[in-house]
């Protein structure tokens, strides 16, 4: 072998060696539903956008992983994937003991409690749990309600059977007066109502006082993830983001709340 050919192969080997020694980043699989105002899919390419997406992209960079986002997936399917370890994380979750069997929870933020969407001319007083139970209420399939709310729904005249596929479908039912109210996340409801040409025909009604405390939402990390150190690293990264102020910039609560401010004053929760 000539000297020049030897030098060529030696140089080529030297150039490729660093590439072979760099380990691939772990992949963090995030299972997403379509949660308006937080993480939602707005185009044909199923690219998720929203404050939760901004936050998770930042956190994944901080802990040195590649973030893989699912297409819009029903929450029930996400939980199956988390239980099996096929997905690593899900966000904006309420804590529930049955979920703690397969998830580690990291406090993420506070969320508004749910509100009722009712017709604007419906003047019934809804200040007690008993009055709430008297309504023919539609719920949104896949939404995570608190245990308190679920107890009320269990004693509802509809027996909790009016689970609508989407908030838009429920709104059609309300327009036709086939239901009395829709129980839905406040910010999600406000965002949808604000986009309706007839938004003044509706009102957001606050739930009775015992249901209106701010609720903690969490990042849920699968206990069966292939990266067992993930929960600790995410918890540290999110705490650092809160201390530095980055969390507030990315998960902009004021922007999330903006649709509430655009509703007529009598309709604000």
User: Does 9 fall in a domain?
Assistant: no
Q: Are residues 99 and 165 in the same domain?
A: no
Most confident stretch, 7-11, 45-49, 105-109: 105-109
Q: The domain that contains 32 carries what CATH number?
A: 3.40.190.10
Q: Are residues 66 and 136 in the same domain?
A: no
User: Does 7 fall in a domain?
Assistant: no
User: Does 99 fall in a domain?
Assistant: yes
Q: Are residues 158 and 100 in the same domain?
A: no
Q: What is the pLDDT of residues 250-267, one digit of tens each?
A: 886 655 555 555 554 444
Q: Are residues 166 and 249 in the same domain?
A: no
Burial pattern 218-246, b for ≥16 Cβ within 10 A else e, equals: bbbbbebbebeebbebbbebbeebeeeeb
Q: Are residues 103 and 221 in the same domain?
A: yes
Burial class (CB in 10 A: 0-12, 13-18, 19+), 45: exposed
Q: What is the pLDDT of residues 89-101, one digit of tens each?
A: 999 998 889 999 9
How far is the C-alpha of 73 from the C-alpha of 190, rounded, in Å?
23
Cross-strand pairs, 107? 218
Q: CB of 162 within 8 A of CB of 183? A: no
Pairing of strands 89-93, 66-69: unpaired
Q: Are residues 143 and 194 in the same domain?
A: yes
How far is the C-alpha of 80 from the C-alpha of 103, rounded, in Å?
11
Q: Are residues 196 and 170 in the same domain?
A: yes
Measured from the Cβ of residue 173, the count of other Cβ atoms closer than 10 Å reads: 15
Q: Are residues 184 and 58 in the same domain?
A: no
Q: Are residues 125 and 205 in the same domain?
A: yes
Whether 234 has a pLDDT exceeding 80, the answer reads: yes
User: Does 222 fall in a domain?
Assistant: yes
Q: Are residues 106 and 29 in the same domain?
A: yes
As a three-state string, the secondary structure of the chain is: CCHHHHHHHHHHHHHHHHHHHCCCCCEEEECCCCECCCEEECCCCCCEECHHHHHHHHHHHHHCCEEEECCCCCHHHHHHHHHHCCCCEEEEECCCHHHHCCEEEEEEEEECCEEEEEECCCCCCCCCHHHHHCCCEEEECCCCCCHHHHHHHHCCCCCCCCEECCHHHHHHHHHCCCCCEEEEEHHHHHHHHHCCCCHHHEEEEECCHHHCCCEEEEEEEECCCCCCCHHHHHHHHHHHHHHHCHHHHHCCHHHHHHHHHHCCHHHCC
Q: Residue 149's pLDDT is what?
A: 82
Q: 11 phi and psi, to 5 degrees? A: -65, -45
User: Does 19 fall in a domain?
Assistant: no
Number of domains in the chain: 2
How far is the C-alpha of 222 from the C-alpha of 226, rounded, in Å?
9
Q: Are residues 129 and 162 in the same domain?
A: yes
Whether 58 has a pLDDT exceeding 50, the answer reads: yes
Tell how far CA 71 is from the center of its chain: 14
Which residues span the domain enclosing 201?
Answer: 114-213
Q: Are residues 132 and 201 in the same domain?
A: yes
CA dihedral 124, 209, 128, 166 (to 10 degrees): 60
Whether 4 has a pLDDT exceeding 80, the answer reads: no
Closest to 193 measured CA to CA, from 91, 120, 106: 120
Most confident stretch, 7-16, 74-83, 259-268: 74-83
* pTM as predicted: 0.68
Which of the residue ranges 83-87, 144-148, 157-161 would you say has the lowest mean pLDDT? 157-161
């Amino acid at each position: 072998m000539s000297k020049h050919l030897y030098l060529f192969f030696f140089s080529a080997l030297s150039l490729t060696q660093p590439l072979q020694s760099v380990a691939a980043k772990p992949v963090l699989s995030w299972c997403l539903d379509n949660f308006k105002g937080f993480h939602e899919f707005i185009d044909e390419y199923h690219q998720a956008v929203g404050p939760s997406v901004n936050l998770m992209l930042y956190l994944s960079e901080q802990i040195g992983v590649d973030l893989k986002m699912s297409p819009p997936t029903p929450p029930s399917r996400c939980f199956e994937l988390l239980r099996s370890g096929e997905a690593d994380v899900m966000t904006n979750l309420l804590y529930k003991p049955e979920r703690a069997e397969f998830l580690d929870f990291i406090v993420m933020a506070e969320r508004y409690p749910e509100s009722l969407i009712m017709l604007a001319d419906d003047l019934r007083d809804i200040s007690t749990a008993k009055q709430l139970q008297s309504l023919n209420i539609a719920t949104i399939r896949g939404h995570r309600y608190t245990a308190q709310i679920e107890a009320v729904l269990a004693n509802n005249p509809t027996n909790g059977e009016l689970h609508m596929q989407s908030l838009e479908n429920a709104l059609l039912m309300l327009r036709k007066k086939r239901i009395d109210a829709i129980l839905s996340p406040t910010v999600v409801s406000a965002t949808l109502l604000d986009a309706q040409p007839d938004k003044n025909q509706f009102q957001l009604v606050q739930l009775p006082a015992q249901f209106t405390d701010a609720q903690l939402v969490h990042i849920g990390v699968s206990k069966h993830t292939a990266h067992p150190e993930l929960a600790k690293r995410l918890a540290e990264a999110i705490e650092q983001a809160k201390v530095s102020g980055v969390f507030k910039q990315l998960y902009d609560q004021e922007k999330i709340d903006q649709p509430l401010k655009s509703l007529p004053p009598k309709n604000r929760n």
